[in-house]
Structure 1
Amino acid sequence: MSGSVVEVLIVDDQRPFRSVARAVVGLVGGWRVTAEAASGEDALAEAARVHPAVVLMDINLPGMSGIEATRLLLDAEPATTVVLMSTYAPDDLPAGAGDCGAVAYLRKEDLTPAALRALCASRGAS
């Protein structure tokens, strides 16, 4: 994806965190937020609409969990890079987080431009 804009979908049920995530993504050169969603169901609809390269997916969402939404999203958009996010310690992640297809888990407090670049570089989304 070198030379092109990396389009990002932010999925979180808390508007303040979506705003923070949008600001962090804005600090990553060549990346831009093209859509936001507040639920797993909305994430699937937005992903089908905008075909993002990267999805920042909260684990705890109303309705469908971020883990299930990740599975379904990657079935439809297998080239997408999904990063799960939450406040859990890595050892306390819910069942299914490790095998849903996400490339990594990032604690929300660790969301930085450098962390995003590092997590997504191996998938060609940087």
Structure 2
Amino acid sequence: MDEELVADRLIQLRDKTKQLRLRRDELTLTLDDQPTTPNPATLDQITNHITTIINTGSANQRKALIEALVDHVTITAPDRLTPVFRIPQTTTRPQPPYQKKHPPKERFAHRLHWWS
């Protein structure tokens, strides 16, 4: 076996192992995060903004609102569906060191059966 080939492969495997460990740590942090309930003032602001878009927004604005808030829709019967909403959450945990150079990602909490 070529010693150079083995050395290159070892470097690749070490890099991959490092990436996988970092991803594992990131996923572990994500599992530990529990969504928090927004304060009432924030909920009021969101409600007012949604109401304004629904009542006075253009068709494109209403479509964008629905796309932003609905994660997916489950059809439970021929005449019944259940939307699953996503609500943006801010994270209170500091980002792992390898992510600090990147902007924080938006986190979502799922809320089932908001209306039935």
Fold agreement, TM-score > 0.5 = no
Q: What is the TM-score normalised by the length of structure 1?
A: 0.22
Bigger relative contact order (CA 8 A; separation at least 6): 1
Q: Which has the larger radius of gyration?
A: 2
Q: What is the TM-score normalised by the length of structure 2?
A: 0.24
| Higher helix proportion (structure 1 or 2) | 2
